[in-house]
């Protein structure tokens, strides 16, 4: 067992280092003494014997080193020594250390932060058995994000007819009023699940049992069963094991708690943590009318692929089965509309794709940028280390002469790099967790999340994966920026650098290498800066495009009359009064109300038939609708092109409508649309209007095109109806055009609503500007972060440039002195320095601009509607870089110009 013996002995030696050292010393001394005695016995004088013996022994230090190298514990020891030595060296140059550590902390921190988001949203597997077998079914409609939304009816069809899946499960999100025994009801997130939900996932209960197929039978005796989440059980049910078999009250109906889900199981959608799971068969007991009974309960579907079945094969089968869904749509809506639906399959080891789809693009783009940022930081530190290496050549040479092995020197240089990188990494991890939290908060301020009922919680606390990733980045970074100095330590020639002091070892190739590093920094920075200006430009295009309405100075107030005691039929005159009173607020120009707020992401639409316009069934499209009050177009600032706005007086009169220009063009061409008539056909998918079918509407006005659902869309053909002609009030969204800051009148609005409509709640107050901002969150995040990273990268590059120039000026002080003595003017000297700076920067541009062009092409592939035709981002980026570089070059240039010829020559 030599290996075991070696290990144990090394371990002991590690803790008895001093004694081991003393013994080795004594042994060598004894060796030397014996040798001297031998030689004296052979007739040498003590003096010459001593000298000869010492010569034979060689360097005692070297011998001891070789003996020490035998044990593995030596590696531990010397590494510790290397690290301590590195720490001492770094402490001696605090300026360098601080800059290096900070830039590394930012670089590594940014990488770690973005990665932890990617990890949480895209990579982390669900805590279920064999998550890699899971796939998600997604429905796609052209021009819309794909959705995980199907009907229970479709689920049953897929479930009963597929051959590809060993299990197909359905889950429907819901919000419940839940009360445990003796507590007040509270609104919590829950899910209706198909009976095979838990068994298909392989999730074992922490307590009790899970919902099974028996529970999920309509009318089953155990349909009123509930599995609660671990956190609900601990926080609301006091972690009481006796709860199993007792009832909680869900939406007023009792449900027996049959089990507690395991602690790590949070459901299938990252970000949403349901507290209770109910069998889908319980839905009819809680919802009236039930959607489960008529098969329209909205569900998401996850499937487990049978062994050996590929995603492609499963998808081929699903496409056939999907005809059922399309025919179903065709029956209820229109064949043309239904035909456009398609089905997709997506690996779902990480759960449902909704959040992933929303943010993957931004995160991938950001990951690319932070990687580039770290590369700049690396290059920057490498060039600083090289400059320091040149200064420390002398020290290195002495160490080599004293018997230090080359390997030891390289290890020392690498220890320094690793130490820098590790300290940077530690600070980086701290920065990352703050950064990731902030990023999550910003991302969740998006419009689609404001509207969600569910509470979204995205946990980005660094887990093992993130820490491993960060550690890998730390080591990789250290190797990257430590490689050049280490290589240099390995190849430096000690003798020559000991001989020539000062400009020692400053070879041509090394200078060229230093310059190359600066050029690379500039190049990478140009890429980052042009990406930044590209994304900023993209964002401002989105924000400042023509919406078809004036977005500034528009206050949006949503009322909720549902619990007010007013029936919707009764709201017409109270709302009319309210409009009048709101108009009276000083600073308010006009007020209106509408059923839909533009670009809020929600809306209603119907099929229409226009009198005198024959439209093929395939060409028929849903036409977005809005119910608006008088002065709507005046308030929103949408131009009235022909005809008139709605009035209160229309109430009771023949039904009228206003259409937008796109609609007028499409249906009426060059003819005058005023007086044209249309009617709605097919079922309503809005549920708002109570107008009788076949009602004819007469067009009384034409307005400019305006964005409807989203600010990225081309304004669709849109119909506006008069809210005051509906039998029931369809509009609860008030809009106030103000003369200055819209927020200033908000409190007055609150007061007036309270006074006039005591029981009606104000459910939301915002401004159109905020709504625009909330609609462009991913773009804002990218623009903001890319500007930050671009600025940081450029600053680092400037620092690198400054370092190189300052060093060059110091090195060339002598030469500059001679030039000045020979009659060069101060301005010539500073121009010389600036010129070399300019040379480096331009070389950086030559590499950077093509790189930037390439990365823009890559970015345009992932970021939709990114403009790729303009050269402006590059002009802007290069100009910015140039300006920053000139500032950086200014200081050394001035110092060069201040060189006193006499002083310089004396050096």
Partner 1 sequence: MSAEQKASTLVQGTLHMLILKTLALEPMHGYGVGVRLEQISKGVFKVNAGSLFPALRRLERDGFIAGEWHVTENNRRAKYYALTAQGRATLKRETKDWEQQSAAIARIMSASLGEL
Q: How far is the CB of 314 from partner 1 (least distance, A)?
A: 59
Cis-peptide into 226, omega within 30 deg: no
Q: What is the DSSP letter of 124?
A: P
Q: Are 170 and 155 spatial neighbours (Cβ–Cβ below 8 Å)?
A: yes
Q: How far is the CB of 60 from partner 1 (least distance, A)?
A: 8
Q: Report 723-762 residues binding partner 1 (CB under 8 A).
A: none
Q: Which residue has the tokens 């982390």?
A: 124
Q: How far is the CB of 70 from partner 1 (least distance, A)?
A: 4
Q: Please give the backbone phi and psi of residue 129, each rounded to the nearest 5 degrees, phi first.
A: -80, 140
Q: How far is the CB of 426 from partner 1 (least distance, A)?
A: 36
Smaller CB separation from partner 1, 26 or 854: 26
Q: Report 588-647 residues binding partner 1 (CB under 8 A).
A: none
Q: How far is the CB of 400 from partner 1 (least distance, A)?
A: 18
E strands in 676-822: 677-681, 696-703, 719-722, 733-738, 761-767
E strands in 261-371: 276-279, 298-305, 342-347
**Which residue of 21, 25, 38, 181 would you call a contact of partner 1, by CB under 8 A?**
38
Cα separation values, 561 from 97, 503, 567, 685, 689, Å? 63, 83, 8, 22, 17
**Which residue of 16, 19, 21, 34 would you call a contact of partner 1, by CB under 8 A?**
34
Q: How far is the CB of 15 from partner 1 (least distance, A)?
A: 15
Q: Please give the backbone phi and psi of residue 297, each rounded to the nearest 5 degrees, phi first.
A: -55, 125
Smaller CB separation from partner 1, 8 or 871: 8
Instruction: State how far the Cα of 288 lies from the Cα of 296, in Å rounded to an integer.
Output: 13
Cα separation values, 144 from 712, 760, 816, Å? 11, 35, 66
Q: What is the DSSP letter of 120?
A: I
Smaller CB separation from partner 1, 33 or 740: 33
Our CA angle for 108, 111, 115, nearest 5°, is: 140
Smaller CB separation from partner 1, 23 or 132: 23
**Which residue of 15, 16, 21, 33 would you call a contact of partner 1, by CB under 8 A?**
33
Closest CA to 103 of 428, 363, 416, 371: 428
Q: How far is the CB of 84 from partner 1 (least distance, A)?
A: 25
Q: Which residue has the tokens 């119909």?
A: 719
Stretch of 3-11, 328-336, 384-392, 810-818 contacting partner 1, by CB under 8 A: 3-11
Smaller CB separation from partner 1, 2 or 586: 2
Instruction: State how far the Cα of 512 lies from the Cα of 530, in Å rounded to an integer.
Output: 27
Q: How far is the CB of 10 from partner 1 (least distance, A)?
A: 7
Q: How far is the CB of 407 from partner 1 (least distance, A)?
A: 16
Q: How far is the CB of 7 from partner 1 (least distance, A)?
A: 9
Closest CA to 798 of 99, 110, 108, 97: 99
| DSSP class per residue in 658-672 | EEEHHHHHHHHTTS-
**3-class DSSP assignment, residue 86:** helix
Smaller CB separation from partner 1, 57 or 360: 57
Smaller CB separation from partner 1, 38 or 713: 38
Task: Indicate whether 221 belongs to the interface with partner 1 (CB under 8 A).
Answer: no
Contacts of 69 (CB under 8 A, 6+ apart): none
Q: What b-and-e string marks burial along 619-630, b requiring 16 or more CB atoms within 10 Å of the CB?
A: ebbbbbbbbbbb
Q: How far is the CB of 1 from partner 1 (least distance, A)?
A: 7
Smaller CB separation from partner 1, 9 or 311: 9
* Angle, helix 872-897 to helix 826-862, in steps of 10 degrees: 150
Give the interface size with partner 1 as a residue count (CB under 8 A). Answer: 28
Q: Report 12-31 residues binding partner 1 (CB under 8 A).
A: 23-24, 26-28, 30-31
Contacts of 234 (CB under 8 A, 6+ apart): none
772 to 811: interface string for partner 1, x by CB under 8 A:
----------------------------------------
Instruction: State how far the Cα of 561 lies from the Cα of 567, in Å rounded to an integer.
Output: 8
Contacts of 390 (CB under 8 A, 6+ apart): 504, 505, 506, 510
Smaller CB separation from partner 1, 6 or 408: 6
Smaller CB separation from partner 1, 44 or 493: 44
Smaller CB separation from partner 1, 65 or 615: 65
Instruction: State how far the Cα of 887 lies from the Cα of 835, in Å rounded to an integer.
Output: 13
Smaller CB separation from partner 1, 72 or 788: 72
Q: How far is the CB of 438 from partner 1 (least distance, A)?
A: 54
Q: How far is the CB of 61 from partner 1 (least distance, A)?
A: 11
Smaller CB separation from partner 1, 13 or 228: 13
Q: How far is the CB of 36 from partner 1 (least distance, A)?
A: 10
Smaller CB separation from partner 1, 11 or 648: 11
Q: How far is the CB of 38 from partner 1 (least distance, A)?
A: 7
Cα separation values, 415 from 60, 385, 470, 481, 485, Å? 26, 13, 18, 12, 12
Instruction: State how far the Cα of 680 lies from the Cα of 794, in Å rounded to an integer.
Output: 59
Smaller CB separation from partner 1, 98 or 407: 407
Instruction: State how far the Cα of 388 lies from the Cα of 400, in Å rounded to an integer.
Output: 18
Q: Report 50-89 residues binding partner 1 (CB under 8 A).
A: 56-58, 62-63, 66-67, 69-71
Cβ burial of 70 (10 Å; 0-12, 13-18, 19+) is exposed
**Which residue of 10, 262, 639, 743 would you call a contact of partner 1, by CB under 8 A?**
10
Binding site for partner 1 (CB under 8 A): 1-2, 5-6, 9-10, 23-24, 26-28, 30-31, 33-35, 37-38, 56-58, 62-63, 66-67, 69-71
């Amino acid at each position: 067992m030599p290996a075991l013996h070696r290990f144990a002995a090394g371990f002991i030696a590690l803790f008895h280092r001093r004694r081991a050292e003393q013994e080795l010393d004594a042994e060598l001394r004894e060796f030397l003494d014996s040798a001297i005695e031998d030689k004296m016995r052979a007739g040498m004088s003590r003096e010459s014997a001593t000298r000869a013996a010492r010569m034979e022994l060689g360097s005692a230090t070297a011998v001891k080193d070789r003996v020490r190298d035998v044990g593995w514990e030596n590696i531990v020891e010397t590494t510790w020594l290397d690290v301590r030595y590195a720490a001492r060296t770094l402490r001696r140059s605090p300026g360098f250390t601080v800059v290096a550590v900070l830039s590394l902390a930012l670089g590594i921190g940014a990488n770690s932060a973005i990665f932890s988001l990617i990890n949480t949203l895209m990579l982390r597997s669900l805590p279920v058995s064999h998550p890699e077998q899971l796939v998600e079914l997604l429905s796609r409609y052209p021009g819309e994000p794909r959705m995980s939304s199907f009907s229970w009816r479709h689920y049953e069809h897929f479930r009963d007819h597929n051959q590809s899946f060993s299990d197909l499960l359905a889950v429907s999100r819901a919000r419940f009023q839940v009360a445990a025994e003796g507590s007040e009801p509270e609104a919590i997130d829950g899910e209706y699940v198909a009976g095979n939900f838990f068994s298909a996932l392989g999730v074992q209960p922490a307590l009790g049992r899970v919902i099974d197929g028996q529970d999920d039978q309509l009318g089953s005796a155990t349909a009123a069963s509930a599995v609660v989440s671990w956190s609900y059980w601990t926080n609301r049910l006091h972690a009481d094991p006796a709860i199993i078999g007792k009832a909680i009250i869900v939406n007023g109906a009792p449900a027996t708690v049959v089990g507690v889900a395991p602690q790590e199981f949070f459901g299938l959608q990252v970000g949403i943590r349901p507290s209770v799971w109910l069998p889908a068969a319980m839905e009819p007991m809680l919802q009236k009318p039930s959607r489960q009974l008529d098969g329209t309960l909205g569900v998401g579907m996850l499937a487990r692929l049978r062994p050996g079945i590929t995603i492609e094969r499963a998808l081929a089968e699903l496409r056939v089965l999907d005809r059922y869904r399309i025919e179903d749509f065709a029956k209820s809506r229109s064949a043309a509309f239904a035909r456009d639906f398609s089905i997709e399959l997506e690996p779902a080891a990480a759960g449902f794709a909704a959040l992933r789809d929303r943010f993957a693009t931004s995160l991938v783009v950001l990951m690319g940028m932070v990687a580039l940022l770290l590369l700049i930081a690396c290059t920057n530190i490498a060039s600083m280390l090289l400059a320091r290496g040149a200064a420390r050549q002398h020290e290195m040479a002495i160490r080599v002469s004293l018997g230090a092995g080359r390997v030891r020197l390289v290890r020392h240089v690498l220890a320094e790099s690793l130490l820098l990188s590790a300290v940077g990494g530690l600070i980086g991890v701290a920065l990352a967790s703050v950064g990731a939290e902030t990023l999550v908060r910003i991302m969740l301020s998006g419009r689609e999340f404001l509207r969600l009922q569910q509470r979204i919680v995205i946990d980005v606390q660094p887990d093992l994966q993130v820490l491993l990733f960060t550690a890998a980045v730390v080591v990789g970074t250290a190797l990257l920026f430590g490689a050049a100095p280490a290589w240099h330590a390995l190849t430096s020639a000690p003798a020559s650098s000991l001989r020539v002091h000062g400009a020692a070892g400053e070879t041509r190739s090394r200078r060229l290498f230093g310059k190359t590093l600066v050029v690379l920094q500039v190049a990478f920075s140009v890429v980052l800066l042009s990406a930044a200006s590209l994304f900023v430009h993209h964002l401002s295009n989105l924000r400042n495009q023509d919406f078809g309405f004036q977005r500034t100075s528009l206050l949006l107030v949503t009322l909720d009359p549902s619990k007010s005691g007013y029936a919707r039929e009764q709201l017409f005159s109270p709302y009319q009064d309210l409009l009048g009173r709101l108009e009276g607020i000083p600073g308010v120009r006009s007020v209106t109300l509408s059923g839909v707020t533009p670009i809020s992401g929600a809306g209603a639409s119907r099929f229409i038939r226009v009198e005198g316009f024959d439209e093929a069934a395939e060409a028929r499209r849903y036409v977005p609708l809005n119910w608006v009050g008088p002065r709507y177009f005046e308030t929103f600032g949408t131009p009235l092109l022909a005809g008139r706005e709605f009035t209160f007086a229309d109430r009771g009169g023949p039904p009228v409508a206003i259409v937008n220009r796109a609609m007028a063009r499409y249906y009426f061409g060059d003819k005058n649309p005023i007086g044209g008539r249309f009617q709605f056909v097919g079922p309503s998918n809005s549920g708002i209007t109570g107008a009788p079918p076949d009602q004819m509407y007469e067009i009384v006005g034409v307005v400019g095109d305006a964005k409807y659902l989203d600010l990225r869309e081309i304004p669709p053909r849109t119909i506006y109806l008069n809210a005051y002609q509906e039998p029931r009030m369809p509009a609860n969204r008030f809009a106030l055009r103000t003369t200055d800051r819209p927020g200033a009148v908000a409190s007055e609005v609150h007061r007036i609503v309270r006074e006039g409509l005591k029981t009606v709640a104000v459910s939301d107050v915002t401004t159109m500007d905020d709504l625009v901002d909330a609609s462009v969150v991913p773009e804002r995040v990218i623009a903001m972060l890319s500007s930050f990273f671009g600025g940081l990268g450029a600053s680092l590059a400037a620092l690198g440039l400054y370092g190189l120039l300052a060093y060059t000026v110091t090195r060339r002080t002598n030469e500059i002195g001679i030039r000045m003595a020979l009659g060069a003017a101060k301005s010539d000297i500073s121009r010389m320095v600036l010129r070399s700076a300019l040379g480096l920067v331009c070389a950086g541009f030559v590499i950077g601009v093509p790189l930037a062009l390439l990365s823009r092409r890559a970015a345009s592939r992932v970021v939709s509607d990114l403009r790729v035709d303009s050269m402006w981002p590059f002009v802007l980026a290069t100009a910015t870089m140039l300006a920053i570089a000139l500032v950086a070059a200014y200081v050394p240039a001035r110092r060069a110009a201040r060189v006193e010829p006499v002083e310089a020559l004396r050096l």
